[in-house]
Amino acid sequence: MNEAIRKLEPTAMWNNFTDLNAVPRPSKKEERVIQFISDFGKKLNLPTTVDEVGNVIIKKPATKGMEDRVTVVLQSHLDMVHQKNAATNFDFNTQGIEMLVDGDWVKANGTTLGADNGIGVASIMALLESTDIPHPALEALFTIDEETGMTGALALKGGLLDGGIMLNLDTEDDNELTIGCAGGVDVTANGKYTQESPKHNNAFKITVKGLTGGHSGMDIHKGRGNANKIMNRLLFNLSKDLQIEISSIDGGSLRNAIPRESVSLITVAEENKEKLKKQVQQFETVLKGEHSTTDPKLAITIEDSETPSHVFSKDFQYRLIRSIYACPFGIYRMSPDIAGLVQTSNNVSRVFIKDGSYQVQCLTRSSVDSEKTDLQSAITASFELLGAEITTAGSYPGWTPKPSSPIVKLMSDLYKERYKTEAKVSACHAGLECGILGTNYPDMQMISFGPNITGAHSPDEKVQISSVQKYWGFLLETLVRIPKK
């Protein structure tokens, strides 16, 4: 089945991709592929290093006549996402990926293909073993665990690389040149609160549901509703108008997902029961109007419930609602350099308050570290007023776009020359390894590009053959045009 792949052009790259895909390489279990790449470099008699976490670095001298050019770092990650269809009988621990040609595309037989980031890895391998491709001195950097934590990039030490330009081969649209991404940090507010017995016997469960949700980075600019913020807005108004008592709040799930649902349990005085139901219905009408385009299935329901044994103390309820109200959600600042790019944002991803304990989780993103810290401080301030303990974890730096960088101009001009159209020079509001790697190599110019890949991280993943050929030619010509030192 895989023999047809070996006949595709460029054959050197596709042969290496086929060999790579014979090696199981899930994130966190990259031992076999680390050995595979290390052996590859040693067989070529090239200086090969494996660092303490498993990143592999292979260095190759410049071809004749290009010794005076800037050294180029070629970077891709070794791990891939292992997913298969339920009906597919396949063991990722023992089997290599089964590939097939489908028109202009290469895909796998019921599993992920591993084009993310195997095409990049195979491209670097082809350059390392080549004898007839002109290039400056190369430093191949193969990182581990990009898909589930970027721990390889985070652990890479300074001083291992000498290159002045890094070409990251890990994007999925062949008309894009990516020059920036967001960093991130998890911010969590934890604490205890005083409970008391409810004064009212009339209890209701309120549910916010049907929101569109989405990726908290890539979709944050689309104006979609956040169930946690919507619920809090409702409870704020009900507390002022009807003096409700709150017993619990449970909203959201994953930090990197815009929350779609939230549920609260409240009590209210007998004389305010009908007012409560009417006000919830009115609020639903208002929210449907506000979110008719972004969240057409939004719904807010209210139903009778058993009276809880405890509710929030009056003081805690007052301060909690205002702290969540003050906590930013969505876009904090747009990029002043790249039109349409979200520079800094926050997602109020999880609110869980019950039985005397509370936790509010946020994921803060920014391509500018100082703004990430500023937004983190704003979130911290809003919950410190509540008396919460604030913790942060999983921080990784952003990659600040530098549109005037020489490598951006070189590759933009080259793209226009070759394809008679402008490349899309862009940044994304999600994480890439470049921002992390740049921490120890701040003077290194960086850019990311790749061929057309669709369905990454799913059994629908496929890579376009003609696009690989376009990308390969673009890569080779870029190396020829690398400037002198």
The sheet with strand 462-464 has its strands ordered as: 99-102, 105-108, 462-464, 453-454
**Of residues 30, 79, 145, 284, which has the active-site annotation?**
79
Q: SS3 breakdown of the chain: % helix, strand, coil, rounded to 5?
A: 30, 30, 40
Check if 9 is active-site.
no
Backbone angles phi, psi at 378, to 5 degrees: -65, -40
Vertex 335, ends 414 and 231: CA angle to 5°? 135
Nearest-angstrom CA–CA distance, 399 and 312: 43
Nearest-angstrom CA–CA distance, 193 and 226: 25
Check if 79 is active-site.
yes
H/E segment holding residue 394: strand 389-396
In this structure, what is the dihedral angle of CA atoms 262, 265, 268, 273, given to the nearest 10 degrees? 60
Nearest-angstrom CA–CA distance, 478 and 123: 14
Nearest-angstrom CA–CA distance, 468 and 119: 8
Cβ distance 87 to 110 under 8 Å? yes
**Of residues 30, 145, 146, 219, which has the active-site annotation?**
146
Q: What is the DSSP letter of 403?
A: T
Dig out the tokens for 192 from the structure.
């205890």
Vertex 197, ends 196 and 201: CA angle to 5°? 145
Cβ distance 156 to 51 under 8 Å? yes
Nearest-angstrom CA–CA distance, 124 and 141: 9
In this structure, what is the dihedral angle of CA atoms 251, 257, 258, 262, given to the nearest 10 degrees? -10
Vertex 313, ends 309 and 318: CA angle to 5°? 135
> Which position has the token pair 């990311």?
448
Within 10 angstroms of residue 14's Cβ, the number of other Cβ atoms is 24
Nearest-angstrom CA–CA distance, 156 and 222: 35
Question: Pick from 324, 335, 407: which is nearest to 367 by CA?
Answer: 335
Q: Which residues are catalytic?
A: 79, 146
